[in-house]
Chains A and B, each alone.
Chain A
């Protein structure tokens, strides 16, 4: 009995010896301000800030020393408090908004010294969403009810205004060579009433004088996600084509603005995921994979009809339909599509993103929670189609415990059912191997990542594990606690728990460093090389090293 007790004690006390390290603190500082707003600047720029409604402090990223700390009234006498604060890191300026009905103040301050660059009450009823910083030209496009105004960031000088563009600047493509910008308009959800009679516009505009070079319209609603405000569409330039990936694809000629062709499908992911009770705003994203361009062809998912879904292959240059696949039966969501070696692979079902605001109402208080999460949409599986004629090549069995994204390694499709890791021969659908992810000990797989040439990283419910892509043999694991992936920069993967504890996993060593934060703490993984994490808790800012 004594022996057993010793063994138990050895096990109990011995494990901490093998447990993962805490992240080392580079510095931690009480900023003297209850942090309501925070922003982490680039390491190279060395400026970050914390603020509440009445004051703000800017500190050094290097050591946390405070460059300056001022009340907003000190910065600009007209500013009593602020309602919104928008940093523009590359130009080291911050926009401050003080809202009073009919007397809105906008001030722009130099982040480096807290000096007022300019302020104005000229623009009324402006929200954060109506101001877009054009980083490439160091200016702001401000959408007013009847015109778009473009001002220089550092001086506030109004460079031009145009009534030919209505609504807010959405995604844009800036051309440095001729200082023109191609952009789409949209109306953010909260301010629909502000812009009445708006038509969908895609325009190319001369940023030197506001002259509209060309204008066209687009189909669909170019919106942002309701909580994270990410755009739900893409605008990109491919040679002479402007590609708008919204409700399918819409293609314009970059030089003239003419509509080249479109394959637009009216699709709303209604009913795919049921919202919880008392939800005031609700969005489901990532249910349909983006179109895939391969040479002269483009593959697009047609999910218009809820009961019948198809892959369609078009001529990328003319939009001529080349084939429609056999029906993709029963899929409620198709979040992934890849084309490899003349095979179109579809990820049927899987994790889709949900965002919502939930209202909690009691006798004493009403609270609104903003939630960003993921839900698995069933059925789950993989289907493969012949890229030459759209015929069904093979179909996997239904994955009962969910499905992850798929990756391609050495001509094989690797995917996780949640419980098992599969390598599937792309050409015939036969399994090269099936190995249980339980070998990794990190719970059900949520996501897989490729690493090096032959490693699959399984992001599980409780950490990370690695397997050889070639034969599925287990390599290593790093077990944490229930958490979800919060970001990846290079080799560093950040996982975060419901209680805002964080762990930074280094894929090169498969070790992690953790930090137990307070509930409600904001964390920020430094974007340049992921060496640091900033944690904002109450009045304290802590800089942690991930390495």
Chain B
């Protein structure tokens, strides 16, 4: 029996991570001595450094992903459930967006905390409490913060609000185009606009439901704050707006109100694409059934679109061809219950973040307190 006991532990403890399916080319990367689940990933604009945030108030890591070394740890963004992170356009700042485990009011406007960190000094530049959305302008001069109906321009050096404009019934999201000329803001459907939409002319109930559950995106001139146009499409509750690097596309993550979900078993979320040249919404989109607002990104060559989703049990990363909308690759973060290894717990907390690597052939994604490098393009 004594002989069998160590053998049992070997089997139980020394299990390996295995994604479901076959022919996955991947490896696991430890982040120094990190013990906590990592929650956010962002790749610096020069693609050299990976910023990694984690849960339970542990530091933000700056990670040399090529040599797999933690280069710095920053004591910022101390939020229990972690944060999602983004680099500013030139890589001078990192924007941290507080995350929660549970969204107790999934249909209400989300108000969370944000923090901007100077990468060089490792110091917090500015914190925002209970605002909807924060973005850094491409010239890194201003922080845009959507609070209530107001979009404020905060000087990043003086930390003073210098200008602002109001968007009536603004929602949760703002985005600024890479050339800094346009600002997209999500907002509730206005009654005056609803009257002009043929789809809503059917009856009072349809209009009432649309006013209750649907949102739109309006685009403003970033210098004059004049509303330029409203995208001719109704969206569900919009949680994230992101421009593509070339500014030609605007990605919109929206989640239906719980009363109008397709089915009760899963919560479906959609990322729809808007052509910013024609201002027309593209018909094709991408769906996720992740537990939380899913991370989504474009590959460096702009050809692939990745989004976190899940299957019945495990988190997944889906990679699509952006143009055709065809799914090309799927990675399922499968693991055994109570699975551990020498580095500690690897099970995730039902959230994951990822970045495309500059080779356009692989991604780094979070799983528990590790990273997974998945080479999605099969080697010849």
Contacts and interface: CB of A to CB of B under 8 A. Distances in A.
A263 B263 contact: yes
Interface string B251-287: 0000010001011111010101000000000011111
Interface string A366-393: 0000000000000000000000111100
Sorting the interface of chain B by its residue count into under 10, 10 to 19, 20 to 34 or 35 or more gives: 35 or more
Interface string A192-229: 00000000000000000001011111010000000000
Contact of A320 (B200, B285, B328): B285
Contacts of A253: 318, 327, 330
Contacts of A418: none
Contacts of A261: 262, 268, 287, 289
A318 B287 contact: yes
Main secondary structure of the interface of A (DSSP, over half): loop
B15 interface: no
A240 B286 contact: no
Given A216-B312, A262-B263, A326-B203, A318 B286 contact: yes
Contacts of B330: 214, 253, 256-258
Contact of A318 (B206, B260, B285, B326): B285
Contact of A219 (B198, B265, B318): B265
B20 interface: yes
B379 interface: no
Interface residues of A, number: 37
A90 interface: no
Contacts of A39: none
A294 interface: no
Interface in A234-275: 240, 248, 253, 255-266
B327 A213 contact: no
A319 interface: yes
Nearest to B320: A253
Contact of A260 (B20, B312, B327): B327
A264 B265 contact: yes
B287 A260 contact: yes
A264 to B, nearest CB: 4
B20 A214 contact: yes
Contact of B329 (A256, A314, A388, A390): A256
Interface string B118-140: 00000000000000000000000
Nearest to A392: B202
B115 interface: no
Given A219-B263, A317-B284, 9 more contacts: A248-B263, A256-B330, A258-B311, A259-B289, A264-B262, A317-B283, A319-B262, A320-B287, A321-B260
**4 tightest Cβ-Cβ pairs between the two chains A and B:** A256-B330, A391-B202, A263-B262, A318-B285
Interface of B: 20-22, 198-203, 205-206, 256, 260, 262-266, 268, 270, 272, 283-287, 289, 309, 311-312, 316, 318, 325-330
24 contacts: A213-B22, A214-B330, A215-B20, A240-B326, A240-B327, A248-B263, A256-B318, A256-B327, A256-B329, A258-B311, A260-B287, A263-B262, A266-B264, A296-B283, A317-B283, A318-B270, A318-B285, A319-B268, A319-B270, A320-B272, A326-B202, A388-B198, A390-B202, A391-B202
